[in-house]
Structure 1
Amino acid sequence: MAVAAVTTEQYHKPLRKKPLPAGRPREWYITHNRRLKAMRLAIALLDTGVYCPSTATDRRIRATAERIGIHPPSDTTCRMVRSLIRHGR
């Protein structure tokens, strides 16, 4: 019987960040970054077992943001996180 070896190697190489396209209105960049932040938070919440938007309170979302090391999200971003959880099922 084969035994799986435990490894600490990364499975994936980190993605290289590309600069955002120039010439867009400021609002586009704000919305783009808000979506990325909401997506990171939604993934972190799903990883911790939060699958219902009703259990993803602002307090829990902000605590998750602190835990993964990003700035506390605004109320708008919290709503976006709940929307991603709702439609991601």
Structure 2
Amino acid sequence: MPAAALKPKSTRSTAHRAAQPDLPYEPVNKRPLPPGRPRDWYVTHNRRLKAMRLAIALLDSGVYVPNQARNETIRGAAQLIGVHPPSDTTCHMVRALMRYAR
């Protein structure tokens, strides 16, 4: 039996560990949005894109459970990938995306 199999697994929680995504993230090529939609559509669309980018950054950094993704953690990841700090609503959306990814 390999020696690694004999070692007990660590039971320490990773909830208090700082998110450290792989850097550098490259900026996403932006395309023009379709014209003629209501303003609310554009706001929601951009919020979903931002939440998706943040969820990917958190998953890349080892934050896999929505309970680990507190608002401070999500805002720290936003700073690391170079986007404006998300609102509470966007943070909620990031956690919802992480729940769906499981």
Normalized against structure 2, the TM-score is what?
Answer: 0.71
Higher RCO, 1 vs 2 (CA within 8 Å, ≥6 residues apart): 2
Q: Are positions 1:41 and 2:45 aligned together?
A: no
Q: Runs ≥4 in structure 1, deviation > 2 angstroms?
A: 14-18
Does 2:84 correspond to 1:71?
Answer: yes
SS in 2 for 1:23: coil
Match for residue 64 of structure 2?
51
Q: Against the structure 1 CA distance between its residues 84 and 20, is the aligned structure 2 distance closer, same or farther, given a 3 Å change threshold?
A: same
State whether structure 2 residue 95 is matched by structure 1 residue 82.
yes
Secondary structure in 1 matching 2:74: helix
1:45 maps to amino acid:
L
Correspondence for 1:32: 45
The percent of aligned pairs where both chains have the same amino acid is 68
Q: CA RMSD in A?
A: 1.3
Long gaps (5+) in structure 1: 1-13
